[in-house]
Amino acid sequence: TVSILSLGLYFLVNQFTLDNFNNLETKILHKQIDRVNNSISNLVDEHSQKMTDWAQWDKTYDFMHSLDGSYIDETLNSMTLNALGFNSVIYFTPSLDLHYGVTVAGESVQPAEASLVNQTKEILAKASSQSFQGLVHLGDDVFMLAASPILPNKGDQKSLGVLVATSKVNTDTFELV
């Protein structure tokens, strides 16, 4: 009788302990997932804020009236784009026609690839808004993408289009998380 009671008590305590450990592990896992989610969300927010500041700059607004060569030389160079962490910057008209777009690779700045422009245009069309931020799958890679209306500093005029900036998500990005 004692051995049956001892065995029963063992199984009861064992089950109680295992349940508590499982609950604890689940809570820890949920906290870690929340932490990673918040970290990624903060990275996307920072990316979006940099791009939004640029979109609401008078020089950007003026650039939409013309393809000003000095704006391109001063603003769309590898040093500036790399410092901001942008892989691509694309300017769309209000009707989502390409106005100008570049991609940076190291020290080289090239016209944005047509596939990137087209995929970005599709995302904006589906978003049905000139503002968007998030992680998107473009081609074989994942990017942080942010879009904002191009407005003057005063903000009292109509948007001249949409500015989009992308940053490729890679292992360096996740080391920050």
Q: Which residues of 12-44 are buried (b: 16+ CB within 10 A; e: fewer)?
A: eeeeeeeeeeeeeeeeeeeeeeeeeeeebeebb
Q: Which residue has the higher pLDDT, 175 or 103?
A: 103
What are the tens digits of pLDDT across the range 134-173? Answer: 888 887 888 899 999 999 887 678 889 999 999 988 766 5
pLDDT computed for residue 86 by the predictor: 93
What are the tens digits of pLDDT across the range 38-55? Answer: 888 888 888 888 888 888
DSSP 87-152: SEEEEE-TT--EEEEEEEETTEEEEPPHHHHHHHHHHHHHHTSS-EEEEEEETTEEEEEEEEE---
Threshold 0.75, pTM exceeds: yes
Percent of the chain with pLDDT over 70: 89
Q: Which of 1-5, 55-59, 121-125, 166-170 has the lowest mean pLDDT?
A: 1-5
Q: Which residue has the higher pLDDT, 19 or 32?
A: 32
Beta bridge partners of 143: 136, 168
Q: In what order do the strands lie in the sheet with 108-111?
A: 108-111, 98-105, 88-92, 162-168, 141-149, 132-138
Unique residue bearing structure tokens 């904002």:
148
Nearest CA to 167 out of 145, 136, 148 is that of 145
- For residue 64, pLDDT over 60 is answered with yes
